[in-house]
Structure formats: structure tokens, C-alpha cells
Amino acid sequence: MEHKDSIVKKTESAIDDFIDLWKRRKGICIIAIAIIIVPTCFTLFQQYIAIPKIQSQIVKKDQKISLLENRLKETIREKDKAEIKLSPFLAAADRHFSKSPPDERLNLLVEKIDSLIKRVESAAKDIKSKRILSIEAISKIKSRFSLFPPLSFIITSIMGDQESMQLGEQIKRILEEAGQDVKGVNQSLFTQPVFGLRINVYELPPKQIQAAIAPFFNDLGYKRVVGLKKELKPNQIEIIVGSK
């Protein structure tokens, strides 16, 4: 009890002394209070505000670093895959352009491939634009013409029309391989435009011959156009190859 009283008395005495000092020297009291409060506030600020904030920033930076590391690994993997895919092209570029600077070889190979692609596309367009008889049609023509004696054919194309001339040449080869007598390919000018195929005969041929000629029209998608021409001989057939 005496010990507690002494603590109380000491506390009361300290408070009395502080009040007395406050009355006499307020400046010193304020300095003393500041010396006690400021470090305490600073410690509390660090413990509950500054340090948690710094820790949070560190965690966020660690997360960003981890994300960047993962992206870097993924980029390296993609780079390795790209190098594997490019390796045949790099080898081809080194082989074909060995005299060129190493950093230009792949570009030169790409340019060459582009040029080849354009040439192939151009050739494909040319093939599509040409009329060509199919293997099936050629087989039918040859087998049907083998059933009767050879006839005499005259093939005429449009003057100045290269595609017409080429189709005429194909028809000539087919008929010659079928054992027919073929003259031409002639080139002629017509007063009226001529398209597709046209057959001129002295008189209408037997159905057997008509059936042999039919694949020329059917395979190219043309209707049969047959005209009578008295200048021809009875065993002659004129095939006019018009424009496409």
C-alpha cells in the first residue's frame, strides 16, 4: 500500500511539477512534449502506415517481375520455335545466295519465292483461260472414229487469235492419232465474229460420224452447230475453231 501511495505521490508530484513548469516556462514544456510525442508518432506512422505501404509496393513489384520473367520465357520459347521453323529457309537462303551478305539472304529468298508464286499464278490463269479437251473426251473421239474408214478434215482457226489456233492444233493432233486425214490448221478472217466450234459438211453425215464428233462440243460446253457447204467434198468435214 505504501508502495502504491509512493507511486501515486510521485505521479502527482510530477504532474504538479509539470503544471508549475508550464506556468513558468511554456516553451520548455512544449519542447519536452514534442520530444516525447514526435518519436512516438513517427514510430506509429512507420509501423502502421509507411512499412505496410512499402511492403505492398514490394509485393506488387515482385508480381510484376514474375510476370515479366514469364513473358520473357514465353518469348524465348516462341523465338526458339520460330528459329526451328525458319531453319530450312535459312539453309536454303545460305545455299542459293552464298555470295550475298548474311543478313540479306533471307530477304532475297523471300523475294525469289514471291516471284515464283506470281509466275505460277500467271501460268495457272493462262491454263484456265485456254480451252483444252479432257482425256475422257479424247478417248471417246479416238474409239468412235476407229469404227469407220478415215475421213478428210479441214481445220480453220481465227486469224490473230492465238488461243483459237492452239485449240485447233489440239483437235488436229487428236484426229491424226485417231487415223484421220487432217489439213490445217488454217487461219482465216470472217465477216462476222465466230465463237465456239462450228462444223461444215457437204451433207449431213451419218449418226455414227455425228456421235464421233459430238465429244468436241460436249466437252467444251458448246451446242452443236452444223452448216452445209457445197464447196466441200462428200467425205470432207470442216471444223472452224472460233474465239473463246
β-strands 152-158, 181-188: how paired? Answer: parallel
Give the range among 60-69, 119-128, 197-206, 221-230 with minimum mean pLDDT: 119-128
Instruction: For residue 235, give the DSSP letter.
Output: T
Q: Which residue has the higher pLDDT, 222 or 129?
A: 222
Q: How far is it between the farthest Cα atoms of the chain?
A: 157
- What pLDDT, on the 0 to 100 scale, is given for residue 1? 47
Query: What average pLDDT does the structure give for the chain?
Result: 85
- What pLDDT, on the 0 to 100 scale, is given for residue 123? 64
CA angle 73, 79, 81 (to 5 degrees): 105
% of the chain surpassing 90 pLDDT:
35
Is pTM beyond 0.75? Reply is no
Q: What is the rounded distance in angstroms from the CA atom of residue 244 to the CA atom of residue 222?
A: 10
Residue 178's pLDDT band, with cuts at 50, 70 and 90, is very high
Reported as a single tens digit per residue, the pLDDT across 100-114 is 898 888 888 888 888
**Residue 24 CB-half CA count within 13 A:** 6
Instruction: List residues bridging with 43 in a β-sheet.
Output: none
Residue 202, number of CB atoms within 10 A of its CB? 16
- 135-241, CATH topology level: Alpha-Beta Plaits (3.30.70)
Q: What is the rounded distance in angstroms from the CA atom of residue 189 to the CA atom of residue 157?
A: 9
pLDDT at 173 over 90: yes
pLDDT at 224 over 70: yes
Place of cell 508480381: 63
- What pLDDT, on the 0 to 100 scale, is given for residue 183? 94
pLDDT at 221 over 80: yes
β-strands 226-228, 152-158: how paired? Answer: unpaired
Q: Is residue 201 helix, strand or coil?
A: strand
Residue 232's pLDDT band, with cuts at 50, 70 and 90, is very high
- Is residue 42 within a helix (H) or strand (E), and if so which, with residue range? helix 26-45
Q: What is the rounded distance in angstroms from the CA atom of residue 172 to the CA atom of residue 88?
A: 47
> Residue ranges per domain, the chain?
1-95, 97-129, 135-241
- What pLDDT, on the 0 to 100 scale, is given for residue 5? 57
- What pLDDT, on the 0 to 100 scale, is given for residue 96? 86
Reported as a single tens digit per residue, the pLDDT across 10-36 is 777 767 766 776 777 777 777 777 777
Reported as a single tens digit per residue, the pLDDT across 102-155 is 888 888 888 888 888 887 776 666 554 678 999 999 999 999 998 889 999 999
- What pLDDT, on the 0 to 100 scale, is given for residue 126? 56
**Residue 214 CB-half CA count within 13 A:** 11
Q: What is the rounded distance in angstroms from the CA atom of residue 80 to the CA atom of residue 87?
A: 10
Q: What is the rounded distance in angstroms from the CA atom of residue 18 to the CA atom of residue 12?
A: 10
